[in-house]
Amino acid sequence: MTDTGTDPVTGTDPVTGTDPATDADPATDAAPRPLTVGGYAALAKDRLPAATWHYFQGGAGTESTVRANRAAYRQVRLRPRVLADVSRCDLSTTVLGDPIGAPLGVAPMAYHQLACADGEVATVRAAGGSGLRVPTIVSIFASRTFEDLAAEATGPLWLQLYWLHRRDVLRTVVRRAEAAGFRALVLTVDTPRLGRRLREVRHGFHLPPGIAARNLDGEVTGFLHDRQDGSSALARHADAFIDPSLSWSDLDWLREQTRLPLVLKGVLTAEDAARAAGLGIDGIVVSNHGGRQLDGSVATLDALPEVVAAVGGRCPVFLDGGIRHGTDVLKALALGARAVFVGRPVLWGLAADGEAGAREVLTLLRDELEDAMALAGRPSLAALGPELLARGPAAAAPNESYEDPDLRKGP
């Protein structure tokens, strides 16, 4: 390549691939604050050990679903209305009865201490921050205790569960979370076993000393910390602890343990959504686990309309997977999501700058959503509907400098 100038479209230096949005300032050697969520990915990649980065980024198999989640947003264009008085845009809403500052939240992810020392405490502080006050779904594999998180959170906390063989342990964590003030349970139903995550296998992924599933002490065996070349300690662990026999009839047992609302995470079809709604489930998260489970499964934005139609307003429908821009949030809301949850970008923010980084990532998405609502002539969430969207050929390649470089490369 002979052209060494900055690409006028992507803003990326075509030779070095550096991005002015994230590149170090030679005068101060301090990186300017990223202007997009993708900018935090670049910072996180620089800061994290390779094995951790690949655990965060990786999907199952060929990662086709990871890519599909992003591509789906590019296939949907916006139909802005004009002369709509957008002098004030209102992003506030409620989820499961609780008021929140914006229709987004943090998806459950294991072991935030892999990203920063404060772990999930940093995350819940960020999510509760001014102007946000958004929910955090805390993984049952969190690296900080529920009680520590409840002491710091100002936004709602929901507890994500896997269906453990040890039902007594499940009962104990549910009781503890309830006592600590958690507001809902989220049962993940797309993980009867772990997807084949090749990056984890290749890196022999295992937990470093000092990081553990703090709410399952005594239950989690040491092999989470044991390196074994050619296999992932997390996959070995999940296969030992997660009960793959989970079926619809087991939901009654969970209902009997708690008065908290019960949300199912990992639904992708009208059939399952209709059945869940018929059973009186309190919410559904349309999710493919960020492409980490069944490789080749449908993109979440594409699955959303059939789930929303099947539920028919009987419970709120949420979505996660591939949310990287405010316009992505807008598109999901227009297709009927009550709110969206954000996964990897929060870990990028934590890795880049702890609580401040996570807060900046969430604030960026909130601010970009507000911009998009104003420019689309839709100042209130109630005004969002499918007429905002047009389907067409995929948009031209995005500004790749703001996309996660690793996902661009593929596995």
Ligand X SMILES: CC(C)CC(=O)C(=O)O
Ligand Y SMILES: Cc1cc2nc3c(=O)[nH]c(=O)nc-3n(C[C@H](O)[C@H](O)[C@H](O)COP(=O)(O)O)c2cc1C
Footprint of ligand Y (CB under 6 A): 55-56, 69, 107-110, 139, 141, 160, 188, 265, 287, 289-290, 292, 320-323, 342-344
Contact partner, 238, from ligand Y, ligand X, none, Cβ < 5-8 Å per class: ligand X
Q: Any idea how long the chain is?
A: 411
Q: How many CB atoms lie within 10 A of CB 380?
A: 14
Structure tokens at 245: 């026999």
Structure tokens at 278: 């018929």
**Run of H or E residues at 317:** strand 317-320
Who contacts 251 (Cβ-Cβ below 8 Å, separation ≥6)? 187, 262, 279, 281
Regarding 110 and contact with ligand X (CB under 6 A), the answer is yes
> From the CB of 313, what's the least distance to ligand X, in Å?
30
Regarding 40 and contact with ligand X (CB under 6 A), the answer is no
> From the CB of 205, what's the least distance to ligand Y, in Å?
10
Q: Is 289 a catalytic residue?
A: yes
Between 86 and 213, name the residue whose CB sits nearer to ligand Y.
213
Report angle CA 238, 348, 330 to the nearest 5 degrees: 100
Contact partner, 234, from ligand X, ligand Y, none, Cβ < 5-8 Å per class: ligand X
| Residue of 112, 206, 289, 325 marked catalytic | 289
Contact partner, 323, from ligand X, ligand Y, none, Cβ < 5-8 Å per class: ligand Y
User: Which residue type is seen at 114?
Assistant: L
Regarding 292 and contact with ligand X (CB under 6 A), the answer is yes
Regarding 238 and contact with ligand X (CB under 6 A), the answer is yes
Q: List the one residue out of 341, 189, 163, 162 whose CA is nearest residue 267.
A: 189
Between 69 and 113, name the residue whose CB sits nearer to ligand Y.
69
Between 370 and 404, name the residue whose CB sits nearer to ligand Y.
404
Regarding 234 and contact with ligand X (CB under 6 A), the answer is yes
Contact partner, 344, from ligand X, ligand Y, none, Cβ < 5-8 Å per class: ligand Y
Structure tokens at 409: 């490369």
Regarding 164 and contact with ligand X (CB under 6 A), the answer is no
Structure tokens at 347: 């870990």
Between 38 and 290, name the residue whose CB sits nearer to ligand X.
290
Report angle CA 65, 67, 73 to the nearest 5 degrees: 105
> From the CB of 234, what's the least distance to ligand X, in Å?
5
> From the CB of 176, what's the least distance to ligand X, in Å?
19
Q: List the one residue out of 233, 212, 240, 221 whose CA is nearest residue 145.
A: 212
Between 379 and 403, name the residue whose CB sits nearer to ligand Y.
403
C-alpha–C-alpha distance, residues 93 and 355, integer Å: 24
> From the CB of 188, what's the least distance to ligand X, in Å?
7
Residue nearest ligand X, Cβ-based: 110
Regarding 206 and contact with ligand X (CB under 6 A), the answer is no
Contact partner, 103, from ligand X, ligand Y, none, Cβ < 5-8 Å per class: none
Contact partner, 203, from ligand Y, ligand X, none, Cβ < 5-8 Å per class: none
Q: How many CB atoms lie within 10 A of CB 221?
A: 12
Q: Which residues pair with 185 in a beta bridge?
A: 159, 262
With b meaning 16 or more CB within 10 Å and e meaning fewer, what string describes 119-153? bbbbbbbbbbbeebbbbbbbbbbbbbbbebbbebb
User: Do 144 and 114 contact (CB within 8 A), yes or no?
Assistant: no
> From the CB of 157, what's the least distance to ligand X, in Å?
18
User: Do 357 and 129 contact (CB within 8 A), yes or no?
Assistant: no
> From the CB of 115, what's the least distance to ligand Y, in Å?
9
Between 292 and 324, name the residue whose CB sits nearer to ligand X.
292
Q: Which residues pair with 389 in a beta bridge?
A: 78
Contact positions vs ligand X (CB under 6 A):
110, 141, 194, 234, 238, 289, 292
> Could you list the active site residues?
289
